[in-house]
Amino acid sequence: MIRRGTGKRSMGLGMAGLLALTLLLQACASGGNSGKTEASPTTTPSASASESASTSAEPSASEETKLDPYEVTIVYFGKPQQDDALVEEKLNEFFTEKINATVKLQPIASSEYKNRTELMMNAGEKMDLVFTASWLNYFGNVTKGAFLELDDLLEKYGQGIKQELHPLYLEAPRMNGKLYAVPTNKEITQGKAITYRKDFVEKYNIPIDTINSMADLEPWFEKVKADSPEITNFFLAGGSGNFTSGFLMYEGQSNWRPIGPVPAKTPMFLLDYKATDMKVKSVLDPEIVDLNKKELELYRKYYEKGYINSDSGTSTTAIDDYRKQGKIWTQTTTWKPGSDIELQLADNNQFEYVSHVVEEPIVTTDLAAGSMFSISRTSKNPERAMMVLNYLHTDPYVINLFVNGIEGKHYTKVGDNRIEPIADSGYSPGIFWVVGNQLKNYLKPGQPDDLYENWKKFNDEAKQFPLMGFVFDDTNVKNEITQMTAVVNEYKVIFTGAVKNPSKELDQRNAKLKDAGIEKVQAELQAQIDAWLAANKK
């Protein structure tokens, strides 16, 4: 039928033709693309220079300004709501009057947020205010150049923000000394606590203030198990992605706190936060190994005695489901003022809770940078973006409009500073912790009147982690970290008590970690810490 010769020749020609066509089309596409992305940063300074010269620097003054209209895109972490358009309209009314700006709300649902924003950043799409956080790879994105430097902008247009925020808040998102994001005002950190069902504490007279570790709980586990065997004393869900190996492993028993990379959510490097020498230890260090083994053997003992649920190795159930049914009487929690009431509300007011804070709240970089807004490098008017952000931190009207919706339609005001949300109203995005200033939100049912005073006090009293502001740059040790992640994942299950001989398994794991290069990472971490300390001598 076909002679092979002709086939091959036309194949070659055809290939060449197709390749040429493809390259041509790509060149057009990329030319347009790179043209766009390069254009934006260069046009912004010239435009804003003329604008800032002609406008007043006071963002809150509602005088007639000569600002050009501009649409500020707000990309934020929240589920799209039915009435987003209505709220956006009202927001536009406000901002047009104040600074001749409009906003475009772009809520993105939680599970897509990271992927979609990174896609938008990779494609160079125009964005202004972008929600980010330490757990959304904020620092990685800063290194890649996603966000603009904010110090100048903050000085000029963000005075309100500076007044409202605790100063530590502005230290955490710094990278090499420069600020790239503005945290949302709320509780600046959380303490770790053990929370108890009040009725159990009263029944057994448990001195919760003296219990600071899982080991201390043993006599009480024994009593509860004897009286009520269907109650799970210590619930662990080893199969869940949320499982962090050993929640109170270090806190309450030692001064070691995690620093540096955390492969598979397991701390590998620790630092004595009360010491002055800032020397990093790894999990291979004998002192740490002893601590780990002690706790692991304890968990195993608990498992064998039936205090830990028998499916701890694979369970993915959220502890809240069991707690609502009354099957859990104690758990470890992260704590801030008002947590106990929140827990009670979450369980439909069935039970009351009390907590004992085991670890005093320390402000770490991760926690203080847990909810922030940055300005994207693709913004065409960063000044306006900063002005909008300033309003979102200072003006209770616009904050509550954004967070709670329109009065009468989405909530009813029952007091000076108190509201009751209307069920199924079409707007309940749950973004009180995402936007601006939570301390200016209207209080909701169940929240005590003095909640915000307590928070302010909490924030003021929180201790600063000595290395707050330090961020580890993993560029040189990416390969080692991938190896370590693989090892840690494989051995995660020993922290659930479901495995025999956990100490032996731990030794195996540590040997593999050594092969994976953990010492190289430790050296890198120490070097970076020393450099940071030298540069930031406080």
Partner 1 sequence: MMFPALLIVVLNNYLPMFGVFIAFKNINYTDGIWGSPWIGFKNFEFLFSSQSIWRITRNTVLYSLTFMVVNLVLSVGIAVAISELRGRLLAKGYQTLIIMPYFLSMVVVSYLVYAFLNPDRGFVNVLLETFGADRVFWYSETEYWPYILTLVNAWKGVGIGAVIYIAAIAGIDPEYYEAAVIDGASKWRQTIHITLPSIQPIIIIMTILSMGHVFNSDFGLFYQVPMDAGALYPVTDTVDTYVYRVLMELNDIGMSSAAALVQSVLGFILVLATNATVRKINREQALF
Partner 2 sequence: MIKVRNKRDNSIGPVANAALNAWFILLSLACVLPILLVVIVSVSHNDSLLNRGYSFFPEKLSGIAYESLFKDYGTIVGAYGVSIGITVAGTLLSVLLMALYAYPISRGDYPLRSFFTFVLFFTMLFSGGVVSKYIVFTQAIGLLDSYMALILPLLIVPFNVFIMRTFFQTTIHPALIESSRIDGAGEWLIFFRIVLPLSLPVMATMALFGTIAYWNDWFNSLLFIRSEEKYPLQFLMMRVLNDVQYLRNNVQLAAQNPEMMSQLPNESLQMAMAVVGIGPILLVYPFFQKYFVKGLTVGAIKG
Q: Which positions touch partner 2 (CB under 8 A)?
A: 1-2, 6-7, 10-11, 14-15, 18, 25, 28-29, 32-33, 36, 79-80, 82, 106, 109-112, 115-116, 119, 122-123, 125, 133-135, 190, 240-242, 244, 265, 316-318, 320-322, 324-325, 333-334, 339, 342-343, 345-347, 366-367, 370-371, 424, 430, 433
Q: Which residues within the stretch 367-386 sit at the binding site for partner 1 (CB under 8 A)?
A: 377
Beta bridge partners of 271: 257
CA angle, corner 285, sides to 279 and 287, nearest 5?
95
> Least separation, in Å, of the C-beta of 346 and partner 2?
3
For partner 1, which stretch binds (CB under 8 A), given 276-284, 338-346, 413-421, 481-489? 481-489
Residue 317 interacts with which of partner 2, partner 1, none, CB < 5 to 8 Å by class: partner 2
Q: Does position 26 bind partner 1 by CB under 8 A?
A: yes
Q: Which is nearer to partner 2, 149 or 326 (CB)?
A: 326
Residue 318 interacts with which of partner 2, partner 1, none, CB < 5 to 8 Å by class: partner 2
Amino acid identity, position 262: V
Beta bridge partners of 168: none
Q: Does position 37 bind partner 1 by CB under 8 A?
A: yes
Residue 429 interacts with which of partner 2, partner 1, none, CB < 5 to 8 Å by class: none
Pick one of 21, 39, 61, 109: the residue that binds partner 1 (CB under 8 A). Answer: 21
CA-to-CA dists, residue 155 to 52, 171, 386, 487, angstroms = 13, 15, 10, 47
Residues 271, 277: contact at Cβ < 8 Å? Answer: no
> Least separation, in Å, of the C-beta of 11 and partner 1?
9
Residue 491 interacts with which of partner 2, partner 1, none, CB < 5 to 8 Å by class: partner 1
**Whole-angstrom distance, CA of residue 308 vs CA of residue 300:** 9
Q: Does position 60 bind partner 1 by CB under 8 A?
A: no
> Tokens 């370590």 sit at which residue?
484
Q: Does position 521 bind partner 1 by CB under 8 A?
A: no
> Least separation, in Å, of the C-beta of 391 and partner 1?
27
Rg (CA), the chain: 27
> Least separation, in Å, of the C-beta of 152 and partner 2?
29
> Least separation, in Å, of the C-beta of 19 and partner 1?
9
Residue 339 interacts with which of partner 2, partner 1, none, CB < 5 to 8 Å by class: partner 2
> Least separation, in Å, of the C-beta of 42 and partner 2?
19
Residue 212 interacts with which of partner 2, partner 1, none, CB < 5 to 8 Å by class: none
Residues 464, 168: contact at Cβ < 8 Å? Answer: yes
**Whole-angstrom distance, CA of residue 354 vs CA of residue 170:** 32
> Least separation, in Å, of the C-beta of 161 and partner 1?
25
Q: Does position 350 bind partner 1 by CB under 8 A?
A: no
Residue 134 interacts with which of partner 1, partner 2, none, CB < 5 to 8 Å by class: partner 2
Q: Does position 268 bind partner 1 by CB under 8 A?
A: no
Strand ranges inside 390-444, DSSP E: 411-413, 419-421
Residues 360, 218: contact at Cβ < 8 Å? Answer: no
**Whole-angstrom distance, CA of residue 173 vs CA of residue 22:** 43
Q: Does position 20 bind partner 1 by CB under 8 A?
A: no
> Least separation, in Å, of the C-beta of 120 and partner 2?
9
Instruction: Give me 118's structure tokens.
Output: 């990174």
> Tokens 């909530």 sit at which residue?
411
Q: Which is nearer to partner 1, 284 or 406 (CB)?
A: 284
Query: Which residue, among 52, 370, 51, 62, has the nearest Cα to 188 in the 3D structure?
Result: 370
Three-class secondary structure of residue 210 per DSSP: helix
Residue 515 interacts with which of partner 2, partner 1, none, CB < 5 to 8 Å by class: partner 1
Pick one of 71, 83, 88, 118: the residue that binds partner 1 (CB under 8 A). Answer: 118
Amino acid identity, position 323: R
> Tokens 């540096």 sit at which residue?
260
Instruction: Give me 105's structure tokens.
Output: 């709300």
What is the distance of C-alpha 152 from the center of its chain? 25
Q: Does position 399 bind partner 1 by CB under 8 A?
A: no
> Least separation, in Å, of the C-beta of 265 and partner 1?
8
Count, residues near partner 1 per rule CB under 8 A: 51
Strand ranges inside 289-396, DSSP E: 330-335, 353-359, 362-363, 372-375
Three-class secondary structure of residue 178 per DSSP: strand
Residues 6+ apart with CB under 8 A from 19: none
**Whole-angstrom distance, CA of residue 508 vs CA of residue 513:** 9
Give 412's DSSP letter.
Answer: E
Q: Does position 287 bind partner 1 by CB under 8 A?
A: no
**Whole-angstrom distance, CA of residue 531 vs CA of residue 525:** 10
Q: Does position 214 bind partner 1 by CB under 8 A?
A: no
Residue 21 interacts with which of partner 1, partner 2, none, CB < 5 to 8 Å by class: partner 1
Instruction: Give me 110's structure tokens.
Output: 């939680």
Residues 520, 482: contact at Cβ < 8 Å? Answer: no
Q: Which is nearer to partner 1, 74 or 513 (CB)?
A: 513
Query: Site mask, partner 1, residues 75-114, x = CB under 8 A?
Result: ----------------------------------------
Query: Pairing mode, if any, of strands 362-363 and 463-464?
Result: parallel
Residues 252, 295: contact at Cβ < 8 Å? Answer: no
Pick one of 44, 134, 141, 330: the residue that binds partner 1 (CB under 8 A). Answer: 141
Q: Which is nearer to partner 1, 440 or 492 (CB)?
A: 492
Specify the DSSP element, H or E, that contains 484. Answer: helix 478-491
Beta bridge partners of 281: 270
Binding site for partner 1 (CB under 8 A): 18, 21-22, 25-26, 29-30, 33-34, 37, 118, 121-122, 124, 137, 140-141, 143-146, 239, 261-264, 310-311, 313-314, 316, 377, 474, 478-479, 481-483, 485-487, 489-493, 498-499, 512, 515-516
